């Protein structure tokens, strides 16, 4: 059994064991995190397959081109081949970076640790998170439209936890919308800066069964809500048949603003 | 970029993951093939009329138009190039849908260079075989295209097993006239015997749904006399299906 499969297996066992736990259960955060990890294993595996394929192709091409160089090193063809080998290896290195990033996401998700509050660039964090879910969205044929201003104030937060909360909300939106619509979506994500209130607001809207607003979505969003609470942030759900389900999170620019 | 020989087969690579698209193309080029790459399948379809690929290597899941849709759009444009699908998901539903589209092969990402090159070689074999079949059919179309409408009718009825006098009665003319038409049909089609003629008409009927052939990037439309042969054969069968014993015996 691979590490990822073991992780999913462990998550399922823990979910069964603690499904009825109260929200104050100290294991909730980790279990919820494992749920997200389980949901994301497929997405991350997809993200890994692409760079692994590209790396295999690039390195194999480089090896083939090398035989041309060895056969007649001074020929014009060999010069072109040398240049191409350089390109192939540079691309392979880029892909290796993508693989490392995908693995880092998994590690961050399952690691249990104390929150570390630092200044976090929300725009970069949102873009990075969108990148993670895009392949899953594509697989589910769901469009994600986003509206992100070029700059918003940094927030004092634990970037890993905020990313987990965002992932949790987006994965829930993806599941909910693709279950009720085929192809699903669109999901919209908007970032606003409310300077007067000293908060940065993230609004994710999607269509889905309305009963999920108070049902399954509440449980699925438990991790996001728990993370919001750690940051003195607010998470609210609004359901509307016309505009869909809006999940609004308001993150204080400085800790304690909304407390 | 290493430039392959111009006579090498062209392989079209389509994947919305640009890095994979580039890497697959690079391997194929390093292996001696000519390639054209697209990250959007619709862009390939826009260019398709100008190209004659030996095969297409395409990702099966793309946001704008997936591999299955691409395959259907290619067929609708008369492009018969075999398709090697790539998939990063490999679920049963995807495999089944790909196979229903007559995928030449389905490669689960990540795949090895050998697997890709093997699949491409196999697809090119299929492509060559299809090309040979198309060339043979096109040659037959050219011959049959020389028939007059009346000769096309006579050709269909004679190949259907009707005697000259039956054909004459059906077309409202004399047996002598039919004999003259029949002689011209045999000559124009370069048929050496009645059995040869029957085989030719059977081949035309087998490709009845094919109204054009795309070969070497050029589209050839089926000549009108073949439409007449097809409709006259159908009409004759509908009017009086001949007993099997009356059909000329094929000598192979």
Band of the pLDDT at A11, cuts 50, 70, 90? low
Nearest residue of A to residue B107, measured between CA atoms: A53
Which pLDDT score is estimated for B119? 96
Cis before A7? omega within 30: no
Side-chain-facing half-sphere of A225: CA atoms under 13 Å: 13
Of B3, B61, B109, the CB nearest to A138: B61
pLDDT at B63: 77
The structure's pTM equals: 0.63
Confidence at A147, pLDDT banded by 50, 70, 90: confident
Q: Distance between CA A256 and CA B192 in Å, rounded?
A: 97
User: Span A111-124, mean pLDDT?
Assistant: 82
Chain segment A226-259, per-residue pLDDT in tens: 888 888 898 888 876 666 788 889 999 876 544 4
Q: How far apart are CA A219 and CA A233, in angstroms?
A: 18
State residue A230's pLDDT score. Answer: 85
Supply B34's token pair: 């000519």
Three-class SS of residue A48? helix
φ, ψ at A9 (rounded to 5°)? -60, -45
Helix boundaries (H) for B106-174: 113-144, 149-159, 164-171
Condensed to tens digits (0 to 9), the pLDDT of residues B87-127 reads 887 666 777 777 777 788 889 999 999 999 999 999 999 99
Rg (CA), chain B: 23
* Å between B5 CA and nearest CA of chain A: 12
CB-based contact, A55 to chain B, within 8 Å: yes
In the predicted structure, residue B251 carries a pLDDT above the cut 70: no
Chain B contact for A56 (CB, 8 A cutoff): yes
Q: Measured between CA atoms, how close is B2 to chain A, in angstroms?
A: 6
Q: Above 50 in pLDDT, residue A89?
A: yes
Burial (0-12, 13-18, 19+ Cβ within 10 Å), A259: exposed
Interface of A with B in 82-101 (CB under 8 A): 84, 87-88, 91, 94-95, 98
Residues of chain B positioned with their CB less than 8 A from the CB of A50: 17, 19-20, 88, 109
Instruction: Identify the residue among A42, A54, A96 best suited for mutation to test binding to B, counting B beta carbons within 10 A and taking the highest.
Output: A54
- The pLDDT, as a whole number, for residue B143 is 95
The pLDDT, as a whole number, for residue B113 is: 96
Task: Output the CA–CA distances (angstroms, integers) from residue A185 to A145, A167, A205, B94, B97, in the order listed.
Answer: 9, 16, 10, 21, 23
Residue A5's pLDDT band (cuts 50, 70, 90): very low
Mean pLDDT of chain A: 76
At residue B245, does pLDDT exceed 60? no
B200-213 confidence digits (pLDDT tens): 999 999 998 888 88
Instruction: Give the C-alpha separation, A123 to A130, whole Å.
Output: 11
Average pLDDT estimate for A4-10? 51
**CA dihedral over B146, B152, B156, B159, signed as positive or negative:** negative
pLDDT at A52 over 90: yes
Residues on chain B touching A139 (C-beta within 8 angstroms): 61, 89
CB contact under 8 A, A64 and B27: yes
What is the spatial distance between Cα B69 and Cα B71, in angstroms, rounded to a whole number? 5
CA distance B150 to B26: 56
Between CA B137 and CA B90 the distance in angstroms is 37
pLDDT at A2: 45
A256 phi-psi bin (left φ>0, alpha ψ -120 to 50, beta other): left
Cβ of residue A173 closer than 8 Å to a chain B Cβ: no
Q: Is the pLDDT of residue B169 over 60?
A: yes
CB distance B26–A88 less than 8 Å?
A: yes
CA A38 to chain centre: 12
- pLDDT tops 60 at residue A42: yes
Query: Closest residue of B to A61, CA-based?
Result: B27
The pLDDT, as a whole number, for residue A61 is 96
Interchain pair A91, B24: CB under 8 A: no
- Which of A46, A58, A68 has the CB atom closest to B26's CB atom? A58
Asked whether the CA dihedral A44, A128, A105, A31 is positive or negative, the reply is negative
- State how far the Cα of A26 lies from the Cα of A93, in Å rounded to an integer: 41
Of A194-198, A206-210, B78-82, which gets the smallest average pLDDT?
A206-210
Do A88 and B17 make contact, defined as CB atoms within 8 angstroms? no
DSSP assignment string, A183-246: S---EEEEEEEETTTTEEEEEEEE---GGGGTTHHHHHTHHHHHHHHHTT-EEEEEEETTTEEE
The partner residue sitting opposite B88, judged by closest CB among A50, A64, A87, is: A50
C-alpha angle with apex B30: B19 to B88, nearest 5 degrees? 35
Q: Is residue A9 pLDDT above 80, yes or no?
A: no
Nearest to B51 by CA among B71, B77, B72, B23: B77
Cβ separation B20–A53 shorter than 8 A: yes
- pLDDT of B233 above 80: yes
Element (H, E) at B26: helix B18-30
User: At residue A188, does pLDDT exceed 70?
Assistant: yes
The answer to whether residue A78 neighbours chain B at the CB level (below 8 Å) is no
| DSSP reduced 3-state for A19 | coil
Provide long-range contacts, Cβ within 8 A and 24+ apart, for A61-64. A61/A88, A61/B23, A61/B26, A61/B27, A61/B29, A61/B30, A61/B113, A62/A88, A62/A89, A62/A92, A62/B30, A64/B27, A64/B30, A64/B31
B29–chain A Cβ distance below 8 A for any pair: yes
pLDDT of A62 reads 96
CA atoms of B19 and A23, how far apart (whole Å):
43
CA dist., res. A59 & res. B27, Å (int):
9
| Residues near B74 by beta carbon (within 8 Å), at least 6 away in sequence | B45, B48, B56, B80, B81, B83
pLDDT tens, residue by residue, B182-201: 999 999 999 999 999 999 99
Chain A residues with CB under 8 Å of B2 CB are 65, 68, 77, 80-81, 84
B65 to chain A: closest CA residue? A141
Q: Which residues of A touch B16 (CB under 8 A)?
A: 138
The rounded percent of chain A whose pLDDT value lies above 70 is 68
Residue A206 pLDDT greater than 70, yes or no: yes
């Amino acid at each position: 059994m691979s590490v990822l499969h073991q992780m999913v297996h462990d998550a399922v066992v823990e979910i069964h064991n603690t499904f009825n736990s109260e929200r104050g259960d100290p294991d909730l955060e980790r279990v919820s995190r494992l749920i997200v990890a389980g949901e994301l294993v497929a997405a991350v595996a997809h993200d890994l397959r692409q760079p692994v394929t590209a790396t295999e192709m690039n390195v194999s091409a480089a090896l083939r081109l090398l035989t041309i160089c060895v056969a007649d090193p001074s020929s014009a063809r060999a010069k072109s081949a040398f240049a191409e080998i350089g390109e192939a290896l540079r691309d392979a290195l880029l892909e290796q970076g993508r693989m490392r990033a995908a693995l880092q996401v998994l590690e961050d998700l399952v690691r249990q640790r104390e929150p570390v509050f630092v200044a976090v660039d929300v725009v970069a964090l949102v873009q990075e998170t969108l990148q993670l879910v895009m392949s899953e969205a594509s697989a589910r044929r769901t469009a994600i439209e986003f509206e992100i201003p070029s700059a918003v104030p940094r927030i004092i937060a634990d970037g890993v936890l905020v990313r987990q909360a965002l992932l949790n909300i987006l994965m829930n939106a993806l599941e909910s919308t693709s279950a009720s619509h085929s192809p699903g979506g669109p999901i919209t994500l908007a970032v606003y800066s409310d300077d007067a209130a000293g908060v940065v607001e993230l609004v994710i809207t999607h269509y889905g069964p309305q009963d999920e607003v108070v049902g399954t979505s509440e449980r699925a969003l438990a991790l996001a809500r728990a993370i919001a609470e750690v940051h003195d942030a607010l998470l609210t759900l609004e359901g509307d048949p016309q505009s869909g389900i809006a999940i609004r999170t308001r993150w204080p620019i400085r800790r304690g603003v909304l407390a | 970029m290493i430039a392959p020989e111009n006579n090498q087969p062209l392989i079209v690579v389509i994947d919305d993951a640009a890095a994979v698209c580039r890497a697959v193309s690079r391997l194929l080029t390093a292996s001696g093939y000519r390639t054209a790459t697209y990250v959007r399948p619709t862009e390939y379809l826009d260019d398709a009329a100008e190209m004659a690929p030996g095969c297409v290597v395409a990702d099966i899941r793309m946001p704008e138009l997936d591999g299955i849709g691409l395959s259907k759009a290619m067929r609708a444009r008369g492009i018969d190039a075999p398709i090697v699908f790539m998939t990063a998901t490999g679920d049963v539903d995807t495999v089944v849908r790909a196979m229903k589209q007559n995928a030449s092969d389905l490669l689960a990402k990540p795949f090895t260079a050998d697997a890709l090159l093997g699949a491409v070689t196999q697809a090119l074999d299929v492509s060559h075989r299809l090309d040979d079949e198309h060339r043979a059919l096109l040659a037959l179309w050219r011959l049959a295209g020389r028939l007059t409408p009346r000769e096309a009718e006579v050709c269909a009825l004679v190949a259907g097993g009707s005697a000259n006098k039956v054909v004459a009665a059906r077309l409202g003319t004399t047996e002598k006239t039919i004999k003259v038409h029949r002689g011209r049909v045999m000559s124009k089609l370069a048929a050496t015997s009645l059995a040869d003629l029957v085989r030719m008409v059977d081949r035309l009927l087998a490709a009845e749904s094919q109204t054009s052939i795309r070969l070497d990037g050029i589209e050839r439309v089926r000549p009108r006399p073949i439409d007449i042969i097809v409709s006259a054969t159908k009409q004759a069968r509908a009017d009086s299906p001949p007993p099997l014993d009356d059909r000329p015996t094929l000598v192979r």
